[in-house]
A and B are shown apart, each in its own frame.
Chain A
Amino acid sequence: MDPTAHINERVDVIAVFRKGGGIASLCMPAKMYFRGQEILLIELGLRHPTVAGKRMIHIFDMTDGSNDYRLEFDAEGLTWTLVAILEGSRVGSYVRH
């Protein structure tokens, strides 16, 4: 039904800040350490801001090529949280013809 696994764990992240390019890719996490595993994030799906009260939170939907990761950056607390993982192997075998 919904292949999302909710994690909500603080993670170590290496992020890249670019001086130019589109607004969608000025900043993006490049590598994440989660439960002893190093995950290389190769593509940004969507970045969008949201708020928790007056605290600005940036949400990054990233992929490593097989799984999708939802990461939240708290711009006030300067923390990265892995909110959820959508496992590519759980999205089914449907192929568009």
Chain B
Amino acid sequence: MWGHMYAINREDAQILFCDLNSAFAMAEQQAHPSLRGRPIGVTNRLSKHCCVIAASYEAKALGIKVGMRLDEAQQLCPDFIMLETDPPKYHHMYKSLARIMKTYSPNVYMKSIDEGVIDLHGTMDTINKGRSMEAIGYEIKQRLRQEVGSWMKVNIGIAPNRFLAKQAASWHKPDGLDRIDHRNLAEYYKGIALTDLSGIAKHYEARLNAANIFTPTEFLEASPDFLKRFVFHSVIGEDWAQRLRGFEVDNVPTRLGNVGRQWVLKKPSNDESFILPCFHYLCETTGKKLRYQNVDARGLMVWARFQTGDQWYQRRMFKSTFYTDQDLYARALYLFSQRPKHMIIQSMGLTCYELTPSTRNQVSLLDAVNRDEWLTTAVDEINDMYGTFKIFSANALLGTKTVQQKIPFGGTKYFELLLKQA
């Protein structure tokens, strides 16, 4: 018999999850009326062997999946159209969705470029007085169509916690609106598989299967103690027990742990005159990220993957912190020069860790330190004024022409600046 805290949460559902499915493909169809109703995909860099990073619903219906290569997609559908990503378009969509969501509650958390959560606790008797959760959901759909475009569709999920709200948002795609709460929770779990649960993929499924749990209903019926001791071997088991029952365990703010950049070479190479300018460019973009997040780093790791499939990395914790492009590149180059130089590089990158809040506003007693700070600030200000990479190290010139900026899929930590403008 479980204690009260492990019963199903009977609280009114006040979490609303918005999910723009096939977001990039939908944005392209919104922008190009000729592409509406057609199987299209979006990729970062158009080439013969490029991958689909977002597919329209029409393409998905034909079996075209995210991650599929262009030639494979064209075998399934000869009329399949692939477009290159257009970041400003997706930023605009993200900002529009965030702006709409923020009108219903001050507690809005954008989980990624195409999904976000509105916590409506405390607003149902004030700014949302007299409206049901469903009414708010339908209003968001309508406003998105009015303020962005008529092709825009958003899946909305309503539930007492973030996990169930996300599940509800993916229940009936596209353009669905569903509620999961204590009334239909058990019924909902009967109709899905374990891997339909957000956060349960192959490995966790195997763990659950090994403990004789094969369905979400059996997962729900398992005691928190059993999940902790025999399935997940940690508090993750208890978290899952609460999550499945509608209790909130996912509203924990994430801490910025590392900042970095990686790049896959179009043509693998070990030519230093090509590799080093590109590596220098990766260092400069990482430096910009550090300064944007207003943090300094002490730890640095550089890595490379070779054509042979082998991997190499070198890391070091430095005595002093760093944030300027020059400092970062000098330290990264020191580590990078220790790689096996005869190996042909397929991909490479760097990660800064052990981040601390920046102290660069304090004037140093050392003139050299101040000069570095002022130079970096001046260069950043000029680049802000005239566009990114108007001033950069001459050595990184080839890199600025070769390495492309990709669309970040995961967190929105570099979009927060855009969110403030929304």
Show the binding face of A for B, using Cβ within 8 Å.
1-4, 22-24, 43-46, 48-54, 59, 61, 63, 66-68, 70, 86, 88, 91-96
Instruction: Judge whether B84 and A2 touch: CB under 8 Å.
Output: yes
CB nearest to A52 among chain B residues? B387
Given A2-B84, A45-B30, A45-B32, the answer on whether A54 and B385 have CB atoms closer than 8 Å is yes
Given contacts A1-B46, A24-B146, is CB(A94)–CB(B39) below 8 Å?
Answer: yes
Distance of B101 from chain A, by nearest CB (Å)? 16
> Interface segment, B75-83, B187-195, B209-217, B252-260?
B75-83
Asked if residues B385 and A68 are in contact (CB atoms below 8 Å), the reply is no
Partner of A46, one of B30, B37, B46, B384: B30
Contact B35 A91 (CB under 8 A): yes
Query: A46 to B58, Cβ gap below 8 A?
Result: no
A54 nearest CB neighbor, chain B only: B385
The answer to whether A96 and B37 have CB atoms under 8 Å apart is yes
Is A53 a contact partner of B386 (Cβ separation < 8 A)? yes
- Kindly state whether residue B369 has any CB partner on chain A within 8 Å: no
Q: Which residues of the partner chain A approach B387 to less than 8 Å between Cβ atoms? A: 51-53
Cβ–Cβ contact A2 & B35, under 8 A: no
Nearest chain A CB to B414 CB, angstrom units: 16
Q: A50 to B92, alpha carbons, bound, how many Å? A: 8
On B, residues with C-beta under 8 Å from A are 27, 30-35, 37-39, 46, 58, 70, 74, 77-79, 81-84, 88-89, 91-93, 146-149, 384-387, 390
Known: A22-B146, A45-B149, A48-B88. A2 touches B34 (CB 8 A): no
Indicate whether A94 sits within 8 Å of B38 (C-beta atoms), given known contacts A45-B149, A46-B89, A53-B390. yes
Find out whether the CB atom of B147 lies under 8 angstroms from the CB atom of A22. Answer: yes
Q: Does B38 contact A49, Cβ atoms closer than 8 Å?
A: no
Distance from B250 Cβ to chain A, minimum over Cβ atoms (Å): 31
Chain A residues with CB under 8 Å of B58's CB are 94, 96
Q: How far is the CB of A95 from chain B (nearest CB, A)?
A: 8
In angstroms, Cα B148 to Cα A68, docked, is 17
CA distance A95 to B36 in the complex (A): 10
CA gap between A46 and B24 in the complex, in Å = 13
List of B residues within 8 angstroms of A4 by Cβ: 83
Q: Which 8 A-B pairs have the closest CB atoms?
A: A92-B79, A48-B92, A50-B88, A53-B387, A61-B31, A53-B386, A46-B31, A94-B79
**A62 → B minimal CB distance (Å):** 9
Contacts of A61 in B (CB 8 A): 31-32
Tell me, rounded to whole Å, the shortest Cβ–Cβ distance linking B292 to chain A. Answer: 16
- Candidates B27, B148, B386; contact of A54 at CB < 8 Å: B386
| A-chain residues with CB within 8 Å of residue B46 when the two chains form the complex | 1-2
User: In the bound complex, what is the Cα–Cα distance between A66 and B79 (angstroms)?
Assistant: 17
Decide if B83 touches A91 in the complex (CB within 8 Å). Answer: no
Q: Most B CB atoms within 10 A — which of A48, A91, A95?
A: A48
Measured CB to CB, the nearest residue on chain B to A48 is: B92
Q: Are A24 and B149 in contact (CB under 8 A)?
A: yes
Identity of the chain B residue whose Cβ is nearest the Cβ of A68 in the assembled complex: B32
CB contact between B33 and one of A59, A68, A70 (< 8 Å): that residue: A68
Q: B163 to nearest A CB, angstroms?
A: 32
Known: A24-B146, A91-B35. A48 touches B89 (CB 8 A): yes
Contact: A24 with B385, CB < 8 Å?
no
Q: List 23 A-B contacts (CB under 8 A).
A: A24-B147, A45-B149, A46-B27, A46-B148, A48-B92, A48-B93, A49-B88, A50-B92, A53-B385, A54-B385, A59-B88, A59-B89, A63-B33, A70-B31, A86-B35, A91-B34, A91-B79, A91-B81, A92-B78, A94-B39, A94-B58, A94-B79, A95-B37
Residues from chain A with Cβ under 8 Å of B35 in the complex: 68, 86, 91
Please indicate the chain B residues that have their CB under 8 angstroms from the CB of A53 in the complex: 384-387, 390
* Contact of A49 with B386 in the complex, beta carbons under 8 Å: no
User: Taking CB as reference atom, which chain B residue is nearest A43?
Assistant: B33
A22 to B147, CA, bound (A): 6
Report how far A21 CA is from B149 CA in the complex, Å. Answer: 13
Chain B CB count within 10 A is highest, among A49, A53, A63, A66, for: A53
- With A23-B147, A67-B34, A94-B38 known as contacts, the answer to whether A2 contacts B83 (CB < 8 A) is yes
Q: Are A63 and B34 in contact (CB under 8 A)?
A: yes
B385: which A residues are within 8 A, CB to CB?
Answer: 53-54
